A and B are shown apart, each in its own frame.
Chain A
Amino acid sequence: MRKLVNSIAVMALALTILATVTAQPPRRPGGWEPGGPTPRLADGKVDFGGKGVWAPIWVLDWADKKYVTEPIDVPFTPAGLTLYRERRANDSKDDPEGFCLPAGVPRYTGTPYPFQLIQLPDRVVILYEGASHMYRVILMGARHSADPDPSWLGESVGWWEGNDTLVVDTVGFNGRTWLDYVGHPSSEKLHVIEKYRRPDLNTLLYETTIEDPVYYTKPWTTSFKVRFRPGWEIKEYVCLENNKDLVHLGTAAPK
């Protein structure tokens, strides 16, 4: 009997520690209240704005069922697999984000910093809070330049599929971003197609197709949900203000 009581005490202590010392592991996004119907603009198109922000969880691995709608068997090329394994083996120490470099497209949608979409007649502007306080312009109905200069966020053009889906096509990347924390790679040949949908007030259904013949044998598509946080605003985020981690990370340069 005493043993039983002791065991119960041990279990109680264990549960207390479990509950208080640290947090649960991240879970796949979803499961919150819809909050209301999809808001729409006067022309019937989805309104991705409102008084609040989109607040993603940190989608550490864009192929892992823990974070995304369906698990992805990523179709690596040999070069892609080699680079990915190298990044896994060294615990992502060379992640450009650690150097306060931009997360890039599409990774911004899976970093734990809020963003807002501002819809104007000829463009959609996305304001990203995270690393570091970036903006992105999507020209609606435009065509890509013949030879855009390589950049972190690339060159984005957009159009609507019906009234519900905003499609964004992006090329012109510099190949220096990782697609996610675990290190799925990207090259200058990266081509990203994103689909933004808002099935209810509080949910952004985000889908992205990754095409990059240097690191993947064929395009692959992944998706997850992002939660709307009414009342929140974008805050200033200057990553270089006090970045003290590099000396402890054991990294010399982003790779």
Chain B
Amino acid sequence: MAKLLGLTAGLVLLVAATIPALAHHSFAAEFDSTKPVTLTGVVTKVEWMNPHTHFYIDVKDENGKVTNWDLETGSPNGLSRQGWTRNSLKVGDTITVNAFRAKDGASLASARQVTLADGRRVFAGSADDAGPGSENYRPGKQ
């Protein structure tokens, strides 16, 4: 089991290392690719705006303390070309997000994948890794 965990951790790191940047600004200057985080919480706000869509979720820790997290994704322009709409996330939805934490320790993370309220898993990244025009853009895979 320890071996399994070790390998999985290693893979997460490997995967993280392949994420170079966000479309509008440097990924590496803002987020830490060695700090993946999985968050489950309730959507409190959605900002479907450029240069990045942000959504906010309330996450409760084991002591019952609630933290409001800011999740940054691709631009609405890019996300909509990947199949998102401005209604994909709604206030009150319970979702799970795979993300990378901000370097400055803020309750902010770059969202990579979101498991929506209906169970669908959608890619939330920016255009460099699955967005418009990229080689690995896969319509219909959201």
Asked if B39 is at the interface of the complex by the 8 Å CB criterion, the answer is no
Q: Which of B25-33, B61-69, B85-93 contacts A (4 or more CB under 8 A)?
A: B25-33
Q: Which residues of A contact B75 (CB under 8 A)?
A: 237
Given A98-B25, A113-B77: A248 in contact with B30 (beta carbons within 8 A): yes
Contact A22 B129 (CB under 8 A): yes
User: How far is B28's CA from A90's CA once the two chains are assembled, in angstroms?
Assistant: 9
Contact A20 B20 (CB under 8 A): no
User: How far is B24's CA from A234's CA once the two chains are assembled, in angstroms?
Assistant: 17
Chain B interface residue bracket vs A = 35 or more
Contact A91 B129 (CB under 8 A): no
Asked if A153 is at the interface of the complex by the 8 Å CB criterion, the answer is no
Which A residues, 1 to 59, have Cβ-Cβ distances below 8 Å to chain B? 6, 9-10, 13-14, 17-18, 20-29, 31, 55-58
Bitwise, B1-21 to A at CB < 8 A (1) or not (0) is 001100110011001101111
Q: Which of A138-146, A162-170, A212-220, A239-247 contacts B (4 or more CB under 8 A)?
A: A239-247
Q: Is the interface of B mostly helix, strand, loop or mixed?
A: mixed
Q: Which residues of A contact B34 (CB under 8 A)?
A: none
Q: Which residues of B contact A113 (CB under 8 A)?
A: 23, 77, 127, 132
Q: Which residues of A contact B19 (CB under 8 A)?
A: 22-23, 25
Q: Which residues of A contact B26 (CB under 8 A)?
A: 91-93, 95, 98, 181, 249
Q: Which of A74-82, A116-124, A192-200, A224-232 contacts B (4 or more CB under 8 A)?
A: A224-232
Least Cβ–Cβ distance between B87 and chain A, in angstroms: 17
Contact B129 A26 (CB under 8 A): yes
Q: Which residues of B contact A229 (CB under 8 A)?
A: 132-133
Q: Which residues of A contact B51 (CB under 8 A)?
A: 100, 131, 237, 239, 241-243, 245
Residue of B nearest to A181 (CB): B21
Contact B113 A20 (CB under 8 A): yes
Which B residues, 81 to 118, have Cβ-Cβ distances below 8 Å to chain A? 81, 98, 102-104, 106, 108, 112-113
User: How far is B78's CA from A114's CA once the two chains are assembled, in angstroms?
Assistant: 10
Q: Which residues of A contact B7 (CB under 8 A)?
A: 10, 14
User: How far is B77's CA from A236's CA once the two chains are assembled, in angstroms?
Assistant: 8
User: How far is B50's CA from A23's CA once the two chains are assembled, in angstroms?
Assistant: 22
Contact A112 B78 (CB under 8 A): yes
Q: Which residues of B contact A65 (CB under 8 A)?
A: none
Q: Which residues of A contact B104 (CB under 8 A)?
A: 248, 250
Bitwise, A93-137 to B at CB < 8 A (1) or not (0) is 101011010000000000111100000000000000101100000
Least Cβ–Cβ distance between A32 and chain B, in angstroms: 8
Residue of A nearest to B11 (CB): A14
Contact A27 B29 (CB under 8 A): no
Contact B25 A23 (CB under 8 A): no
Q: Which of B28, B126, B130 contacts A92 (CB under 8 A)?
A: B28
> Apart from A22-B113, A250-B29, what 15 extra A-B contacts exist at CB < 8 Å?
A10-B7, A21-B112, A58-B23, A91-B28, A93-B30, A98-B25, A100-B51, A112-B128, A113-B23, A239-B50, A241-B50, A242-B51, A242-B52, A245-B51, A251-B29
Name 14 A/B residue pairs within 8 A (Cβ), A-sorted.
A17-B15, A22-B19, A22-B125, A23-B123, A58-B128, A91-B28, A97-B25, A98-B24, A113-B132, A227-B133, A232-B132, A238-B50, A242-B54, A249-B30
